[in-house]
Amino acid sequence: MKRSTRMASGTVCLVALALVMGWFVGQYVPAPPRMPEPDPYDALTQGTGCPVRTVVEVPFGKTARLAGVDDKLAALLSPRDASPLSDGETEAQDLPDMDMTVAETRVVSARSFVELYPECRQPGLDSESSAYVLATVVVRNVSDEPFLVWDLAATITLHGSDLAGIEESLGAGATLDAIAYMNVNAPAAGDVAKTPSDTPPPNPNLAPGSAIAVTLPFVISENALKDPSLFSDLDLSRWHIQTIDRETGTAWRFELA
C-alpha cells in the first residue's frame, strides 16, 4: 500500500474514532444541577405537645390582652437561647402582660418576596409553590417591665385547619421565618421610599407603656396543605396567628381577615 494511501486511511480512522468518542461523551455529559424543592414540612412545628384546653378567638382588628404567655415555644424554636433542665426540657418564663392587635395581612408570592429581600433566598423557595403570609401586629406593653419584642414574636405560629401534618397541640403550626422577620422589620440603608426612616429595629426592647408595629412572616408551601388546590387563592379568613400559655393550656388565636 502506498504511503499516501496509508496516511489517508489513518486519517479516516482517527476521524471516525473521534466521532465515536464524541458520541459517548455526549451521552454522559452531566445535566445542569436542579434546585431542590423545599420540604413543605420544614416550616411546621408540632408545638409543645401539650393539649389545647382553652381557645380565645380574637376577631381581625380587635385587641386582646395577653397575660401569662410563656416562651416555652420560643425556647424550643431557638435552642441557642434555651436553658435545658436536667430532664431535657426547657424552663419556661412568663412574658410581661401586653395587648396585641392584628392590623394588616397579605399574601406575597415567595418569588416576589425574595426579589425584594434577596437575603431570604433559600433553595427552591422562589418557586411558584411557596408563598409568604405577612401579618402586621401592634404590640403594646401594659406591664411595668420592658421585654424584647422577639421574645413574643418567636412564640407566634400560623395556624389553620387547612394545614396538613400537624397535631392539635399548643403552638402547632407554621413557624415564624426568623431571617425574613429581621429583614422585613429592619430599615433598608438609604431606601427611605420603601422603608421609612422611623421604621423600628427588628428586636427593640419595648418599654412599659410603649407600642410598636412589627410584621410577622410565615412561609406556606402548596404541598403543606390538605388540599393543594387552595394554594392558588389562599383565603386568610381560614387562618389565624396564635400564641400560647402552656401552664393553662390557652391558645390566643387572632383571625387574619
d(CA 122, CA 139): 30
- Average pLDDT estimate for 36-58: 69
Mean residue pLDDT of the chain comes to 75
Tell me if the pTM is above 0.85.
Answer: no
pLDDT in tens, 115-166: 888 888 877 666 688 999 999 999 999 999 998 888 899 889 999 888 887 7
User: Which pLDDT does position 139 carry in this prediction?
Assistant: 95
Burial of 221 (0-12, 13-18, 19+ CB in 10 A): buried
User: Which pLDDT does position 254 carry in this prediction?
Assistant: 98
Residues 148/61, Cβ–Cβ less than 8 Å:
no
**SS (HEC) of the chain:** CCHHHHHHHHHHHHHHHHHHHHHHHHHCCCCCCCCCCCCCCCCEECCCCCECCEEEEECCCCEEEECCCECHHHHHHCHHHCCECCCCCECCCECCCEEEEEEEEEEEEHHHHHHHCHHHCCCCCCCCCEEEEEEEEEEEECCCCCEEHHHHHCCCEEEECCECCCCCECCCEEEECHHHHHHHHCCCCCCCCCCCCCCCCCCCEECCCCEEEEEEEEEEEHHHECCHHHHHHCCHHHEEEEEEECCCCEEEEEECC
d(CA 254, CA 100): 9
User: Which pLDDT does position 203 carry in this prediction?
Assistant: 66
Q: Where are the domains of the chain?
A: 1-30, 35-255
Residues 204/185, Cβ–Cβ less than 8 Å:
no
pLDDT in tens, 196-233: 344 445 667 899 999 999 999 999 989 889 899 999 88
In 138-160, which positions are buried (b, 16+ CB within 10 angstroms) versus exposed (e)? ebbbeeeeebebbbbbbbbbbbb
Task: Answer whether residue 257 shows pLDDT above 90.
Answer: yes
pLDDT in tens, 111-126: 999 888 888 887 766 6
Task: Answer whether residue 195 shows pLDDT above 90.
Answer: no
Sorting pLDDT into bands at 50, 70 and 90, what band is 50?
A: confident
- Lookup: cell for 71: 416562651
Question: According to the per-residue pLDDT averaged within each range, which of 25-29, 44-48, 121-125, 169-173 is highest?
Answer: 169-173
Task: Answer whether residue 6 shows pLDDT above 90.
Answer: no
Strands in 63-66's sheet, in edge-to-edge order, are: 63-66, 98-109, 130-141, 211-221
User: Which pLDDT does position 209 carry in this prediction?
Assistant: 94
